[in-house]
Chains A and B, each alone.
Chain A
């Protein structure tokens, strides 16, 4: 990754405000401190920018899903980078207050992008692109009016669609963020979207689209939107039952190499205690993080959400270092 401290590429921070006043946007000229990032492969690119402090989600037309959090760098402009496949139409939704335990207090803003000719919630990447500072509302609750961003100066391709499977009512809000039954739970969190008493996974109206994004499972590259593509996911519908056993899916399980001798390994024994929550050998089967290959356990383990830091207090630094050394030797399923 290029460490470009002074910045930047293109001043994208002239955004055209078409729908809403941006509170707290503190002036453009965003101090995006990341410069041009390098993506992992030639098939993906990184979209970057800066935001007040935000969860950034991408919902893509093939049903896949990506997300990242912006990095708190101590300023009001937190950089983010999200790697997504090239030439794939995706929508962005940004959430501030994303850690608020009360979902209704989160401030959710879908983005609209315009290249001066076409305006759409979809964009396609062909190269790393920076969209500058996005002044998201910091007050209010729930779904906000769309914020429109100009992509002038970038090579983002903006396609507009009359039929949008990810937003069936064409109101700019992706299906997952609708609340069909008005029960205060977004469809993507609600396991009975239409409140008919039948859980979505059993409901004929919903069970063929597990994550409710609008793309049917048979076409959806990530049935449960847990960021693991189905071809890599042992539990496509995130119900805790491996696909191989799960009536609703028939993908195959993974194989394992058994050792031919026993080797004493204190770090492995201590570290096996992490598997109850992070999966066997540190490979999670859902959206909790995998820890295989972790190389900075001592910082990470104390830094995470309440239940992890409560657990972490039960281990000495010596133990954590032993565990970390072992984790470092493991192959992650997220590589």
Chain B
């Protein structure tokens, strides 16, 4: 497993200009520490950028991200109704090399060795780290083995969302759009409800269907965020919302979803099944041995793993009481970056960090709602808890001006993350 390159190509790969002694575990005086970040979505990308913005030439930062283009799940429901394309939502890290001097490696990670502090990539090359940040996102817990190209979740953007869009566009009047929502916690709490609204509006008002329905099978016992807003919109579109509905099997050939509704077994069939499975941390979290249950357990003051030293986990993969979403992933990344820099300089992390989330949700092709929250550190539970009210503050109702503001929110978020 430990196949190493020649020293010269090894150093070149790390982007370090001169020959330096790269001895794992011992950071010699004057050696520039190497921070490796796996995954360059909202969380990983922000972490890399801020490490360089605040740490500059005192740290060497490498990103390992298998995709050279990242397609944002944020705003991706607007692909379904034709308002955006995945091209509009694609980011390429083009500024990262020049502007921030971050090394980009477009490969995937095979394994992590926390004793020797090395990672092995899929091409068997080995990379040393002083600090490792894992931001690999989520993985799905499917009920059974079915083909996600036939029953797309579209809960990662890019190919999946385009698949779902073409399935929707192939619907004829009278067809039903069936979506299932997993048990919380899952990525982007308002996301599925937003999708149901956007699709219902699209079928009715853009495609002009009069006999098509949207059915929502929600494993949760009620709409988990913006309950008033979404239930009002659901009612106005005639969305068939069914809580306490647990998917038990997916038949991708006959397009049948089996589920229990209040413990009674049922089945539904349709041309479009958008089953969004239950979620857990990406597999790398498990193979690296930093999970506790389904998510990574970390110290919210730094996002350092409570299980392994010098490994940090940010974004959707970790569990600290915060929701899973791109905006808050960006937010966590900054706390993590600063904590790493303080640690490298012999300082303690800031003891009372704040993070925040915000999300604008389109509910049609012209209107959107919003919600927002701020989180603070609770030293008793060692988690992040709400800093203002018990319920997320949210827009009173969807509006066209919120819809416009949505692009200001997303525009600055994209820019702060990827540029």
Task: List A residues at the B interface (Cβ < 8 Å).
Answer: 101-103, 185, 189, 191, 197, 199, 234-235, 238-242, 244-245, 247, 253, 255-256, 258-262, 264, 266, 268-270, 272-273, 275-280, 284-288, 306-307, 310-311, 313-315, 319
Contacts and interface: CB of A to CB of B under 8 A. Distances in A.
Contacts of A234: 415, 419
Interface stretch (B235-243, B307-315, B347-355): B347-355
Interface of B: 50, 52-58, 75, 82-83, 87-92, 94-95, 99-101, 206, 327, 330-331, 334-335, 338, 341-342, 344-345, 347, 350, 353-356, 358, 366, 370, 372-376, 386-389, 393, 395, 399-402, 404-405, 407-416, 418-419
B330 A314 contact: no
Contacts of A189: 400, 404
A327 to B, nearest CB: 15
A144 to B, nearest CB: 20
Interface centre among A238, A240, A272, A275, by most chain B C-beta atoms within 10 angstroms, is A240
B350 A266 contact: yes
Given A270-B354, A276-B330, A310-B388, A258 B411 contact: no
A329 B322 CA distance: 31
Contacts, number: 170
Given A238-B411, A242-B415, A286-B407, 5 more contacts: A103-B400, A238-B407, A240-B89, A273-B331, A285-B411
Contacts of A245: 91-92, 94
B411 A269 contact: no
A238 B405 CA distance: 11
A288 B350 contact: no
B388 A261 contact: no
A268 B358 CA distance: 20
A287 B405 CA distance: 9
A301 B35 CA distance: 35
Nearest to B389: A313
A277 B413 contact: yes
A238 B410 CA distance: 10
A47 B50 CA distance: 42
A315 B413 CA distance: 20
A23 to B, nearest CB: 25
A286 B400 contact: no
B345 A262 contact: yes
Contact of A185 (B327, B388, B400, B412): B400
Contacts of A240: 75, 88-89, 407, 410-411, 414-415
Contacts of A285: 411-412, 415
Contacts of A310: 372, 388, 393
B334 A272 contact: yes
B398 to A, nearest CB: 9
Contacts of B372: 307, 310-311
Interface of A, helix, strand, loop or mixed by DSSP: loop
A224 B46 CA distance: 27
A259 B55 CA distance: 6
Contact of A256 (B53, B330, B354, B387): B53
A102 B95 CA distance: 39
18 contacts: A101-B400, A101-B401, A240-B88, A245-B92, A258-B56, A260-B58, A262-B54, A270-B353, A270-B354, A276-B327, A276-B412, A276-B413, A280-B416, A288-B408, A306-B395, A307-B372, A307-B405, A314-B374
User: What 7 pairs across the A-B complex have the smallest Cβ distances?
Assistant: A314-B374, A310-B393, A259-B56, A258-B56, A314-B387, A240-B411, A101-B399
A241 B354 contact: no
Nearest to A281: B53
Contacts of A253: 95, 99, 419
A3 B413 CA distance: 40
A269 B55 CA distance: 13
A311 B392 CA distance: 10
Contact of B342 (A260, A264, A273): A264
A191 B83 contact: yes
A197 B169 CA distance: 13
Contacts of B419: 234, 242, 244, 253, 280
A276 B49 CA distance: 13
A98 B356 CA distance: 29
Contacts of B94: 244-245
A3 B87 CA distance: 52
A228 B342 CA distance: 37
A254 B107 CA distance: 28
Contacts of B347: 264
A264 B87 CA distance: 39
Given A253-B95, A269-B353, A311-B372, A261 B88 contact: no
Contacts of A185: 366, 400
Nearest to A275: B416
